[in-house]
Amino acid sequence: MRLLIVGTLEGYITAAGKIAMKRGAKVSHTDSIEGALNALRTAAGADLVMIDVKLDIATFIDSLKAERITIPVVACGIGTDAAAAVRAIRAGAKEYLPLPPNAELIAAVLEAVAEESHSIVCSDPAMLATLRLAEQVAPSDASVMITGESGTGKELMARFIHRKSRRSNEPFVAVNCAAIPENLLESELFGHEKGAFTGAVARRLGKFEEANNGTLLLDELSEMHPRLQAKLLRAIQEKEIDRIGSSQPVKVNVRLIATSNRNLEAEVRSGNFREDLYFRLNVFSVAIPSLRERPADIPMIAEHFLKKYAEANGLGDKRLTEDAMLMLKSHHWRGNVRELENTMHRAVLLSRGEEVGPEAIMLTSKLLAPEGSAQASIPSDSPVANPFAGPGGTVPAAPSQPQQPSAPLVVPPPGALPNSYGPPKGGKPGPYGMAANSSAAAAASAGTSGAGLAALIGRTVADVERDLILETLTHCLGNRTHAANILGISIRTLRNKLKQYGDEGRSVPTPGNDERATA
């Protein structure tokens, strides 16, 4: 944990620093906002900023946003000045700490920042074998390629390798290559000099220099543009980088870990990923099994998130009933651990009392369930299934109509992604969510192929594409990565489409909780 203290803190700098250092933090200090920005632009960096409430916190946070520096900011001031606390929070501070510093309060803040569940919860033999393999390679400096479906915990595995390595006391820096626009990713990785381009108000060290002597995680590497792949290859081979706008190379010593939820060998064959870079990074490969392949982990992970979100919402202890656990065990978990986490978060909020029963379990991805195992997204007895039921209800019951037998859902093997949206010729099974033998792509959602096809007549391809993308994103609860996988397009293409729809005034679902930090 690296703590940066900004300002005088009314003379309590020494006391606050000593408390933080006793808790294992590395503390640095600067008097001004400009000094803080300079410190954060360098390789030293920080994981948390404590700033004097008398300084211009709003300007400081705006500067951080302008330079794409993401870091939690905590304001500090004398006593419990409510007005100062409100101003600081409105300016963007995460918390307000009264001075003189309280040891337990500072410890709690440091723990909250450092904690973030970087531990891996598992008991299934398949996952334990993967952890043993990762632990075996961790002490070396070999590059590691971590593969697995979206939501399996690839970044957690990268942090596990870093903790078990000889570089564990050095920085661990993660870069999401899919979340940063292509024209900014080069600056983010390699840094830039002042004036190198519009908006480069000062020298900025990139992630390579920030991770010097430590570990650099390149998350979703398959989304990186081929031009940048060439520059990355040189950085790996020569162990030096060139900042944008500089003619002097900089030596770096980093251990690289890369992740991807795509089949990189297939990407190499299709020409989307450089073969030489693939072999440079894939010195050692760790494949994380999907949650479907490690069913013994489901109860343990579910209990972990149940406890976490019950505490976070101040709801006391809760426990899963046997019926609820059976629902979780029988679900297909296409979204893996991330989907399970979201499910348990919803269950905590919907449950009544200490027990979490089936009525509180809302399972997503109904159209992605394997044949014969599709489950309703909202149980009929869920508190949100019929909010007007009971005394005083105002919604009349829907007229009963004969139910048409639905066509079976066809799902390809794990890892296969759809590359088209319409059903293939000859009535063969279509991609995810497409009903077998349907006559139109809309048949699965429309219930009858004729009605679905009629709804498409007279509409442009662009209109149909837009509705498909937005409906899929809504179905995925705003999760861009999950939606892109379902649609069979890259995350970059999806983000460009969503930006276009937003500019047109369309309502675009907000990113899921796990993506907001990088969206």
Which of residues 288 and 178 earns the better pLDDT score? 288
**pLDDT over 70 at 514, yes or no:** no
Lowest mean pLDDT, pick from 157-161, 242-246, 363-367: 363-367
Which of residues 512 and 490 earns the better pLDDT score? 490
First to last CA, the chain: 24
**pLDDT over 90 at 286, yes or no:** yes
Q: Domain 125-287: what homologous superfamily?
A: P-loop containing nucleotide triphosphate hydrolases (3.40.50.300)
Looking at residue 154, its pLDDT comes to 94
Helices 154-163 and 125-137, packing angle to 10 deg: 50
Check if the beta carbon of residue 208 is closer than 8 Å to that of residue 241: yes
Residue with tokens 């940066």: 4
Lowest mean pLDDT, pick from 41-45, 133-137, 365-369, 464-468: 365-369
User: Which two three-digit tokens encode residue 131?
Assistant: 């952890």
Alpha carbon 211 to chain centroid, angstroms: 21
Per CATH, is 292-364 categorized as 1.10.8.60? yes
Nearest by Cα to 222 from 272, 179, 287: 272
Which of residues 431 and 143 earns the better pLDDT score? 143
Lowest mean pLDDT, pick from 244-258, 309-323, 420-434: 420-434
**pLDDT over 80 at 106, yes or no:** no
Looking at residue 421, its pLDDT comes to 35
218 DSSP β-pair partners = 175, 258
Mean pLDDT, range 246-273, rounded to an integer: 91
**pLDDT over 70 at 354, yes or no:** yes
Which of residues 457 and 323 earns the better pLDDT score? 323
Q: pLDDT of 388-408, one tens digit each?
A: 444 333 333 334 444 444 333
Lowest mean pLDDT, pick from 88-97, 274-283, 349-358, 377-386: 377-386
Could you count the other beta carbons within 10 Å of the beta carbon of residue 447? 14
- As a whole number, the mean pLDDT across the chain is 78
Mean pLDDT, range 120-134, rounded to an integer: 92
**pLDDT over 90 at 83, yes or no:** no
**pLDDT over 60 at 416, yes or no:** no
Looking at residue 405, its pLDDT comes to 40
Alpha carbon 484 to chain centroid, angstroms: 14
Which of residues 23 and 321 earns the better pLDDT score? 321
Looking at residue 72, its pLDDT comes to 85
Mean pLDDT, range 500-514, rounded to an integer: 78
Looking at residue 289, its pLDDT comes to 95
2-116 and 125-287: same fold?
yes
d(CA 102, CA 138): 38
CATH topology of domain 2-116: Rossmann fold (3.40.50)
Q: pLDDT of 210-234, one tens digit each?
A: 899 999 999 999 888 888 999 999 9
Looking at residue 328, its pLDDT comes to 94
Looking at residue 384, its pLDDT comes to 44
Enter the CATH code of domain 459-504: 1.10.10.60
Mean pLDDT, range 186-197, rounded to an integer: 88
d(CA 26, CA 47): 10
Confidence band of 429 (pLDDT split at 50, 70, 90):
very low
Looking at residue 438, its pLDDT comes to 34
Distances (CA, A) of 455 to 134, 144, 349, 439, 468: 52, 49, 37, 13, 13
Q: pLDDT of 50-81, one tens digit each?
A: 898 888 999 999 888 887 787 888 888 877 66
Looking at residue 419, its pLDDT comes to 37
Lowest mean pLDDT, pick from 17-26, 246-255, 274-283: 17-26
Confidence band of 512 (pLDDT split at 50, 70, 90):
low
Q: What percent of the chain has pLDDT over 70?
A: 77
d(CA 435, CA 150): 25
Which of residues 441 and 153 earns the better pLDDT score? 153
Looking at residue 112, its pLDDT comes to 67
Three-state DSSP class for residue 468: helix
Nearest by Cα to 50 from 97, 105, 1: 97
Check if the beta carbon of residue 373 is closer than 8 Å to that of residue 330: yes
Helices (DSSP H) in 46-141: which residue ranges? 57-66, 82-91, 103-115, 125-137
Lowest mean pLDDT, pick from 138-152, 161-175, 268-282, 352-366: 352-366
Residue spans per domain, the chain: 2-116, 125-287, 292-364, 459-504
d(CA 20, CA 14): 10
Mean pLDDT, range 342-351, rounded to an integer: 91
Check if the beta carbon of residue 364 is closer than 8 Å to that of residue 339: yes
Distances (CA, A) of 156 to 110, 336, 512: 20, 14, 18
Looking at residue 411, its pLDDT comes to 37
* pTM confidence score: 0.57
d(CA 367, CA 431): 11
